[in-house]
Chain A
């Protein structure tokens, strides 16, 4: 079984719809992240969470919200989807132990391909 899972894997929706992308992990990590990848732009950080009570905005948080329902679950919501939110979305986790190496070595899920028409 995969350590980091994302659902759905693919989603097509219409402009204005609310949509939620979900991420679950079995690695026992405290830290979770949401990124989006656009062609030719690499990955950009949307939101991150260091524990259940800690939520932080990333580089491109406008138009998105998140919920950390439990240590193992971190969901990303698009309240009113728009076409330029069409992208590949990745969830990632990392360790919060004493080693800096663990903080930065992030483990990624397989991605959710979202298309907003």
Chain B
């Protein structure tokens, strides 16, 4: 059963507008959430993260919001630029005593920024 869900396989947004990518999770043990960006023929690269003790984290054009009660997080990109076109993965982890045991990823959302 999928513990991290990205229900939109793709999203098309006009350049300059806001892109909102959504992610839901089911495992209440998760306490750290990350967004990764992936271009074709490259490995994923870290974009932004948020701890479960926060509800918002901002880094330049990128903001991640966490709603723990709804087990939902979202990534906002403002303004969207052509270079933002990529696949975005939501990921989550929890501390098990020995350290974070690797990330659980969603299936990804392909963001397409249209000129």
* A, B from the same assembly: yes
Shortest distance from the beta carbon of B45 to any chain A beta carbon, whole Å: 7
Chain B interface, number of residues (Cβ within 8 angstroms): 28
Considering the chains assembled together, what is the distance between the CA atoms of A59 and B49 in angstroms?
22
Q: Is the CB of A100 within 8 A of B32?
A: yes
CB < 8 Å neighbour of B101 from A4, A56, A111:
A56
Instruction: Judge whether A68 is part of the interface by a CB distance below 8 angstroms.
Output: no
Q: Is the CB of A111 within 8 A of B99?
A: no
Residue interface bits B93-110, CB-to-A below 8 A is 1, else 0: 101001111111111100
Shortest distance from the beta carbon of A45 to any chain B beta carbon, whole Å: 4
Q: Is the CB of A48 within 8 A of B107?
A: no
Instruction: Judge whether B59 is part of the interface by a CB distance below 8 angstroms.
Output: no
Shortest distance from the beta carbon of B105 to any chain A beta carbon, whole Å: 4
Considering the chains assembled together, what is the distance between the CA atoms of A41 and B107 in angstroms?
5
Residue interface bits A32-73, CB-to-B below 8 A is 1, else 0: 010100001111110010100000101100000000000000
Considering the chains assembled together, what is the distance between the CA atoms of A95 and B107 in angstroms?
25
Please provide the chain A residues from 63 to 117 with a CB less than 8 Å away from any CB of chain B in the complex. 90, 92, 94, 96, 100-101, 103-111
Residues of chain A within 8 A (CB-CB) of B101 are 48, 56
Which residue of chain B lies nearest to A2 when distances are taken between CB atoms in the complex? B43
Q: Is the CB of A96 within 8 A of B99?
A: yes
Residues of chain A within 8 A (CB-CB) of B46 are 105-107
Which B residues have a C-beta under 8 Å from some C-beta of A? 4, 6, 9, 32, 34, 36, 41-46, 49, 51, 89, 93, 95, 98-108
The 5 listed contacts between A and B (C-beta, < 8 Å) are: A90-B43, A104-B93, A104-B103, A106-B46, A109-B43
Which A residues have a C-beta under 8 Å from some C-beta of B? 4, 31, 33, 35, 40-45, 48, 50, 56, 58-59, 90, 92, 94, 96, 100-101, 103-111
